[in-house]
Amino acid sequence: MERILKHLRGEPVEFVRKILRAQADDWQRDALNTLAKSARLAIRSGHGVGKSCLQAWSVLWFLFTRPNARVVMTAPTIRQLYDILMAEISKWLKRSELLEELFEWQKTKVIFKAEPENYYAVARTAAKPENLQGFHAEHLLFILDEASGIGDDIFEAVEGALTGTDNKLLMCGNPTRNSGFFYRAFHEDRELYQTMKVSSAESGRVSDEYCKRLIKQYGEDSDVVRVRVLGEFPKSESDGVIPLELIEAAMMREPARQGELILGVDVARQGNDLTAVAVRLGDDCLAIKTWRHADLMTTTGRIIHLLTELMTKHKKSRAELRIDDDGLGAGVTDRLKEVIKERQIAAQVIACHNGGKSRDNRYSNFISEAMFALRERLEQKLLTLPRDENLAGELSTRRFTLNSADRIILEPKSQYKKRLGRSPDRADALALAFAPLRSRAVLPSFVAGSSYWR
């Protein structure tokens, strides 16, 4: 018996087949095998693909194959936790006489009959962090169902408990929002997790009719379809310029870290705005640097400092600075040119006018064209982005409309700020850094501080 248990510890698919007498779907098999090998697994998916079922199986497998195992389950709602997850556990526990002999299902927990105090699975609501605190064990598994809906404070309690070698975390859900730990698990915290995505459209468990109806009602690219069917995080904007999906993909690609060094600078206009600097190296944006509450001189000083630091770090003998020269940017541009000349830094300052003329007359101004050019690069996978949650948030919420002359115009910053209560400074700095300027072929030999582009 001991030997079988040890064997099944590494073979959850076999456990499901032999003990529960169930057949795992392909993705469930992958998920189980991954869970057996790793400490943290995050799965986002559409509706009805069998996530709760997978979690119930994982609970039973963990209990069955570890002595004094502890499993802690949580979900955003009582219904999700008891009526769905605990019910699913009950359903599968009943499939096995052996399991039923060893374990007893109760409404809020499953206990090992011979040692109920130390060996159990318990369901706790995600109402307050205390509910999930104080669990430590050699064999410990946390299950977070519909994880997008669970608060970060709850997650912190869970994460704090994951200290032992055989401590695991399995979290599943529809990716309903672009923030929180579940979102981060697929973005900036991605290196901490094994991740999976499962689409309802590909799952044999969800009717084609359900998927087709949703797509017909809302469109394939709508948030509801993304989240409920495709297992994609929401796009948030129907009239957005850049869908979140493209941004996500760019953040997952590896940067090549070669090419020209270009900084795109969006200078803060008001108290709460940020000055944002997008650091571009060839086809990569390596970072977005930001700061607040700085006067013109301080801002200039910081840009120069950043510039020289980056030139040294990336061994570049020259660089380019692109600054939105409208409004306060103008003062910064002038001062930068002076300093660059004084200090003989081989950098060219290019004053851009976000509100000024575009090259292509389908766009009403420079920044509108630049933002669409950025989208095109993302579509063609010609750009990598840093894993910056704020950048993703800002980029995916930039909207456009058509003006009276039928030209594409990006929602003015002032309007964006009214709508979302923040300024899309990072997004605009990035657009500047990658804006298609006039062909480089006509550039005369390098002149420091040239105003050639004006």
The binding site for ligand ADP (CB under 6 A) comprises 22-25, 28, 47-53, 88, 205
CA distances from 218 to 140, 205, 214, 291, 327 (A): 42, 22, 6, 40, 40
Q: Is 44 left (phi over 0), alpha (psi -120 to 50) or beta?
A: beta
Smallest gap from Cβ 34 to ligand ADP, in A, equals: 16
Smallest gap from Cβ 85 to ligand ADP, in A, equals: 9
Smallest gap from Cβ 282 to Mg ion, in A, equals: 43
Smallest gap from Cβ 145 to Mg ion, in A, equals: 6
Binding to Mg ion (CB under 5 A) within 1-60 occurs at 51-52
Residue 21 or 343 with smaller CB distance to ligand ADP: 21
Residue 51 or 289 with smaller CB distance to Mg ion: 51
Q: What is the DSSP string of 387-430?
A: --HHHHHHHHT-BEEE-TTS-EEEPPHHHHHHHHSS--HHHHHH
Residue 150 or 431 with smaller CB distance to Mg ion: 150
- When CB distances are held under 5 to 8 angstroms depending on the partner's kind, the choice from ligand ADP, Mg ion, none that residue 394 binds is none
Residue 49 or 227 with smaller CB distance to ligand ADP: 49
What is the separation of C-alpha 323 from the centre of its chain, rounded to a whole number of angstroms? Answer: 28
Residue 145 or 324 with smaller CB distance to ligand ADP: 145
- When CB distances are held under 5 to 8 angstroms depending on the partner's kind, the choice from ligand ADP, Mg ion, none that residue 334 binds is none
Residue 228 or 337 with smaller CB distance to ligand ADP: 228
Cα torsion angle, 290, 291, 297, 301, sign = negative
Cβ neighbours of residue 144 under 8 Å, at least 6 residues apart? Answer: 73, 74, 75, 150, 155, 158, 169, 170, 171, 172, 173, 182
Closest-CA residue to 73 (of 166, 147, 156): 147
Burial class of 14 by CB neighbour count within 10 A (0 to 12, 13 to 18, 19+): middle
Residue 25 or 104 with smaller CB distance to ligand ADP: 25
Smallest gap from Cβ 154 to Mg ion, in A, equals: 18
Closest-CA residue to 243 (of 253, 232, 258): 232
Smallest gap from Cβ 169 to Mg ion, in A, equals: 17
Residue 21 or 362 with smaller CB distance to ligand ADP: 21
Smallest gap from Cβ 130 to ligand ADP, in A, equals: 27
Cα distance between residue 104 and residue 258, in whole Å: 60
Counting other chains too, the contacts that 362-366 makes at CB distance below 8 Å and 24 or more residues apart are 362/407, 362/408, 363/407, 363/408, 363/409, 364/403, 364/405, 364/407, 364/408, 364/409, 365/409, 365/410, 366/435
Q: Is 21 left (phi over 0), alpha (psi -120 to 50) or beta?
A: left
Smallest gap from Cβ 125 to ligand ADP, in A, equals: 18
- Amino acid of residue 448: A
- Does 148 contact Mg ion by CB under 5 A? no
Residue 49 or 370 with smaller CB distance to ligand ADP: 49
- When CB distances are held under 5 to 8 angstroms depending on the partner's kind, the choice from ligand ADP, Mg ion, none that residue 28 binds is ligand ADP
- When CB distances are held under 5 to 8 angstroms depending on the partner's kind, the choice from ligand ADP, Mg ion, none that residue 47 binds is ligand ADP
- When CB distances are held under 5 to 8 angstroms depending on the partner's kind, the choice from ligand ADP, Mg ion, none that residue 200 binds is none
State residue 45 phi and psi, 5-degree precision: -160, 175
- When CB distances are held under 5 to 8 angstroms depending on the partner's kind, the choice from Mg ion, ligand ADP, none that residue 231 binds is none
Smallest gap from Cβ 176 to ligand ADP, in A, equals: 13
- When CB distances are held under 5 to 8 angstroms depending on the partner's kind, the choice from ligand ADP, Mg ion, none that residue 25 binds is ligand ADP
**Which residues here bind Mg ion, judged by CB under 5 A?**
51-52
